[in-house]
Chain A
Amino acid sequence: MVLRGADILVLLLYSVAVLLLGFMVSRGKKNAEDYFLAGKKLPAWAIGLSILGTCISSVTYVAYPGMAFAKDWQYLVQGLALPVLLALGMIAVVPFYRHRIRMSVTEYMEARFGLGVRGYTLVVILIFELTRLATVMYLVSLVMNTITGFPIAWITLATGLITVAYTVAGGMEGIIWNDVIQTILFFLGGLLAVGIAAWGVPGGFSGLLASAYDQGKFKLLDFTPSLSQAGFYVLFLSGLVNYFYFLAGNQNQVQRYICAPNDRAARNAALFGSLSSVLVWALFLLVGTCLFVYFQQNPDPAVAGFIAENKTDKVFPYFIATRLPAGVAGLVLAGLFAAAMSTLDASMATLSTLAVTDIFQKFFKPNDRRSLLVSRGLTLVWGMVGIALALLMIRVGTFLEFYFRLFSILGGSITGLFGLALLVRRANTRGAVLGIIAGLVITVWGSLSFMDINVSGFPQLKFPGIR
């Protein structure tokens, strides 16, 4: 696809708007807390939209339509675990953290289990966020390359540098206000895609829904009792674990709870952001369902090729590139960038907040001015490291696999660690260390089974659910 003038104009306007906003809120920051907690003065609705923006990445924008196109809505079951956790009382983490930590979740880990466990938590979160930063940057560049034909490295550099610029300038305040624009934009992108797909089908939106329903495309629940396929039980259990960490251990989230002026505003923001994520996931599954009916009624050889190659996550980018009118395609592409940037800025903020609170402030006791300077400097450094890793991913595929494997082994036990700290009163430091070791053993076993590797001298015992 060659981008048309109107599309390029929309993308340029979006880039200028996010940069301007970042620089507009850059003044008046006196210390690291102003920079990382936005002066604790932001309204609940803005923080809620920011929480939503952080939940939705470019992966949601592309992979969810792909999954619904290929199959049905079963993956929404994972997201439904989020409201269930909130209903079970997990919203209590909001006042809990606001009253017990200053800025980072690792402070709580040290108070609970000592400095060593805090160090372990810090290393795992840093690896996780750095992986996410580089991967999201790489994936959005890959998708944009498919759509526009621009070189991947250029897209990576442009996405990375714009995000770094507004994040360094505006800190958490710049991030949250930019997330507001970005969240509205990608939501609008999803709605436009649904509308235009429905327009191209005889019978319009109701005809499209009826056709999809008749073909079982809205199927949500599959109670087949199996551990090896993603049915209801596996999806719901993994959703409970993922979203427990999301609500109670994710530095991005917790930092936003603390940005609110009081507990009630923080709780409302968390509820709004988390519950509306389920709606947005449903919207992007609906995009996939609409595209399925659209291309069934308007056959296209390229789409048939994607289905044959089992690469249905290419269908939405292809639809944007070939079916959307000039200007609208630019807006939907800006939505894709927005989804990526709202995740990237959150990762940069997490990395720099943890580096400042856990290392710089802990060991150097700096004054306010130096603290602010170092906060901005570290945000810049992490952003650049993320861009460099994303560029490296373009060149070295095996590195990416090693990095993912390392994270899955180290990160497997982090959710359990937060569960132990938050829910088990009797737990102590020795218990936490033995718990971490048990978690590591399980993840190494799972990884070896998944890679089909035998350890010599031991009988092969596969992890349940892995064939």
Chain B
Amino acid sequence: MMVGVVATLAVILFGWLASFIFKPGRAGPSVLWDVYFKKTDLDKNSEPG
């Protein structure tokens, strides 16, 4: 069980560190926090895509 947990943390940690070293070519189009900060309206514009 712990192998999966450590592997998951390793991907996030190494991915984050490596992204610092190789300066971001492009920022991700969106991350989950955007839902809070941009206050996605839950009922308007509900068509995906």
**Chain A residues within 8 Å of B, Cβ to Cβ:** 89, 92-93, 95-102, 111-112, 227, 230, 234-235, 237-238, 240-242, 244, 248, 258, 261-264, 267, 408, 412-413, 415-417, 419-432, 434-439, 441-443, 446-447, 450, 463-466
Contacts and interface: CB of A to CB of B under 8 A. Distances in A.
Q: Which 9 A-B pairs have the closest CB atoms?
A: A416-B11, A435-B15, A431-B19, A446-B3, A438-B14, A412-B7, A434-B18, A435-B11, A416-B8
A439 B10 contact: yes
Contact of A241 (B8, B19, B26, B31): B8
Contacts of A426: 16, 19-20, 24, 27
Interface in B24-49: 24-36, 40-43, 45-46, 48-49
Contacts of B12: 416, 419-420, 423-424, 435
B15 A101 contact: no
Given A92-B32, A263-B43, A426-B20, 6 more contacts: A238-B4, A238-B5, A267-B42, A425-B33, A438-B15, A463-B6
A442 B40 contact: no
B48 A412 contact: no
B20 A230 contact: no
Contacts of A89: 36
A424 B20 CA distance: 11
Contact of A238 (B1, B16, B19, B43): B1
A191 B7 CA distance: 38
A420 B16 contact: yes
Contact of A413 (B8, B16, B36, B41): B8
B26 A436 contact: no
26 contacts: A95-B40, A97-B48, A99-B49, A101-B48, A234-B2, A237-B1, A242-B4, A258-B48, A413-B8, A413-B10, A413-B11, A419-B11, A420-B12, A422-B31, A422-B32, A423-B33, A427-B15, A428-B25, A429-B25, A430-B18, A430-B25, A435-B13, A443-B4, A463-B3, A464-B2, A466-B3
Contacts of A413: 7-8, 10-11
Contacts of B46: 98-99, 261-263
Contact of A421 (B3, B18, B31): B31
A255 B10 CA distance: 28
A421 B35 CA distance: 14
Contacts of A429: 25
A240 B6 CA distance: 12
Contacts of B13: 435, 438
Contacts of B17: 431
A234 B1 contact: yes
A93 B31 CA distance: 10
Given A241-B8, A423-B31, A426-B24, A264 B16 contact: no
Given A267-B42, A422-B32, A464-B2, A430 B7 contact: no
Contact of A100 (B10, B11, B43, B48): B48
A424 B19 contact: yes
Interface of B: 1-20, 22, 24-36, 40-43, 45-46, 48-49
A254 B47 CA distance: 14
Contacts of B22: 428, 430-431
A92 B4 contact: no
Given A100-B48, A426-B24, A465 B32 contact: no
Nearest to A446: B3
A238 B2 CA distance: 7
B23 to A, nearest CB: 8
* Residue from the set B28, B34, B46 with the largest chain A CB neighbour count within 10 Å: B28
A151 to B, nearest CB: 35
Contact of A442 (B10, B25, B27, B33): B10
A439 B32 contact: no
Nearest to A95: B40
B11 A439 contact: yes
Contacts of A427: 15-16, 19, 28
A465 B2 contact: yes
A416 B15 contact: yes
Nearest to B32: A422
A216 to B, nearest CB: 23
A238 B1 CA distance: 6
A37 to B, nearest CB: 9
B11 A436 contact: yes
A98 B13 CA distance: 27
Nearest to B19: A431
Nearest to A102: B49
A449 to B, nearest CB: 8
